[in-house]
Amino acid sequence: MSVEQVPRRGRRIGIDVGSVRVGVALSDPDGLIATPLVTVPRDVEGGTDVVAVAALVAEHEAVGVVVGLPRTLAGREGPAAEAARVFVAALEPALAVPVELSDERLTTVVATRQLRESGRKGRKQRAVVDQVAAVGILQGWLDRHR
């Protein structure tokens, strides 16, 4: 499905693919604001993370998925970007909606700082940092496409 065919209205799912967890965010139907949804354990070998995300897309009747593509400040791609591309390659066949990669430089760094400043530290912070990073990815995409 080309970008021109993507519905303007409808919920979108934002994904932050980490090495241990997959953060998931959800937009409102009008595409104005992204909110944290859930953190899914990463399962490279078994693929249960992909199955869980596909189920969330169906449950929330999402019209599209935005996956963060981590790049260095110089714009290069490393192992984390390759992991995101592998995740997308596994996810796309499980969905009937478009999946788009979106530049996500520093979203995890910003998310970690925001949580620390709000008083969340340690394990509690790690449990939601990927969700907050997913919110940053999705909100950035929503803002650019508004």
Residue 120 has pLDDT above 80, yes or no: no
- Confidence class for position 4, pLDDT limits 50, 70, 90: very low
**What span, in angstroms and rounded, lies between the C-alpha atoms of 104 and 18?**
12
Residue 111's CB is within 10 A of a number of other CB atoms, namely 24
| pLDDT at position 65 over 90 | yes
Q: Which residues contact 113 (CB under 8 A, 6 or more apart)?
A: none
Cβ atoms of 142 and 12 within 8 Å: the answer is yes
Between residues 55 and 131, which one has the greater pLDDT?
55
The pTM (predicted TM-score) of the whole model is: 0.84
139 vs 127: CA distance, rounded Å: 20
- Judged by DSSP in three states, 145 sits in coil
- Report the range of poorest mean pLDDT among 4-13, 31-40, 98-107: 4-13
The span from the CA of 34 to the CA of 32, in Å, is 7
